[in-house]
Amino acid sequence: MQMKANQIAEDQRLEIRNYLDLDHREEMMRLVGEGLSAEPKWLHCKYLYDQRGSELFDEICQTREYYPTRTEMAIVERYAREIMDFFALGGGDLVEMGSGSNQKVRQLLDALPSRSLERLRYVPFDISESALVDAARELLDIYPRLNVMGIVGDYTRHLAALPSGRKLLVFFGSTLGNFNEQEGLELLKGVASAMNPHDRFLLGLDMVKPVEVLEAAYNDSQGVTESFLKNILAHLNRELGADFPLEHFQHKAFFNAQRECMEMHLQARQELTCRIDDLGLETRFTPGETIHVEIARKFTPDGAKQMLRQAGLAPTRWFSDEQGWFSLVELARVG
């Protein structure tokens, strides 16, 4: 499918295509209206990410309690060469979905001799425009031989923007866990159908582990996760003329054992009425009422294998840490 995009930056080594300008606002208005009119209330977690949201996510990754980033980075560090062997066999694109800052891709790029960087193009794909542009420019400074083609888009809607040629896709951070089962499966199927038989897809999955470790990771002692979650309200205040008083909400994160996921909510401390001007909507909260903002599913090896099979993906290699806390699964399309 041909998709329209606005070209927002171009020089010899950097091209950025923006797919969001076209219909992002309408989609935001629709989803926010639906979520705040529902019982119980919810907001889509992709709206956690604006410039500030991306910064706060990076801060979360540095907290003592947030084990996923360090665990995944240790795995990437250990296996980066093997992963990047993909580019020993030929050139192509290194596509990073939900790219955020450059931490993990730098580990991969550092595993290649600098002359090999001419053979690949890095393609970050993220909804947070300013974070993507800043990260892309930083990479160009660090790797003078690298070319970058950034996609500012929503991977729930713009997968057709993925490059069609030979590629290694990476999806770090267990971001797949932010989708429920059905949506996650849809996303994986979409990626599988964008893959050629020789393409590979490296998927980060956070695994089930003791509940104290999980709950501590999403309730850090510095309150960064709380600020991150509340940023969704600040984002709506700015984008949709809403008046959510951030100080009247608190963050609640707990493990739902039945669904094997962390749930993140914002809870009203008192009775409130908030307006979202651009939607002409007024939304009332009783004391203690919550907005469900995000889930972070935790996977088991068997559950992950079943999900991948259903999506038409087959593991070619399975990298993990010694405790089995995190998995990086390299996948090929089936058939």
Ligand X SMILES: C[S@@+](CC[C@H](N)C(=O)[O-])C[C@H]1O[C@@H](n2cnc3c(N)ncnc32)[C@H](O)[C@@H]1O
Cα–Cα distance for residue pair 27/21, rounded to 1 Å: 11
Among 54, 71, 107, 290, binds ligand X (CB under 6 A): 54
Q: Which of 261, 262, 226 is nearest to 63 (CA)?
A: 226
Peptide bond into 40 cis (omega under 30): yes
- Closest distance of CB 270 from ligand X, Å: 31
Q: Where are the beta strands (DSSP E) in the chain?
A: 6-10, 14-18, 41-42, 92-97, 120-126, 147-152, 167-171, 200-206, 249-256, 261-268, 272-276, 281-285, 290-297, 313-320, 326-333
Q: Does 126 bind ligand X (CB under 6 A)?
A: yes
Helix, strand, or coil (residue 62): coil
Question: Stretches 17-25, 154-162, 265-273, 309-317: which one binds ligand X (CB under 6 A)?
Answer: 154-162
* Contact status, residue 9 vs residue 2, Cβ threshold 8 Å: no
Examine residue 129 and tell whether it contacts ligand X (CB under 6 A).
no
d(C-alpha 174, C-alpha 72), whole Å:
9
Per CB under 6 A, contacts with ligand X among 62-91 are 69
In the complex, what is the shortest distance from the CB of residue 147 to ligand X, in angstroms, rounded to a whole number?
A: 20
Using rule CB under 6 A, residue 100 touches ligand X: yes
The reply on whether position 50 binds ligand X by CB under 6 A is no
Q: How many residues bind ligand X (CB under 6 A)?
A: 19
Which of residues 63 and 156 has its CB atom nearest to ligand X in the complex?
156
Among 18, 71, 128, 290, binds ligand X (CB under 6 A): 128
User: How do 147-152 and 41-42 pair as beta strands?
Assistant: unpaired
Distances, alpha carbon 255 to alpha carbons 217, 219, 326, in Å:
11, 11, 17
Choices 82-90, 153-161, 220-228, 303-311 (CB under 6 A): range interacting with ligand X: 153-161
319 binds ligand X (CB under 6 A): no
Residue 124 binding ligand X, by CB under 6 A = no
Closer to ligand X by Cβ: residue 92 or 173 = 173
Question: Which residues between 167 and 226 bind ligand X (CB under 6 A)?
Answer: 172-173, 175
Judged by the rule CB under 6 A, the positions of this chain that interact with ligand X are 46, 49, 54, 57, 61, 69, 98-100, 104, 126-128, 154-156, 172-173, 175
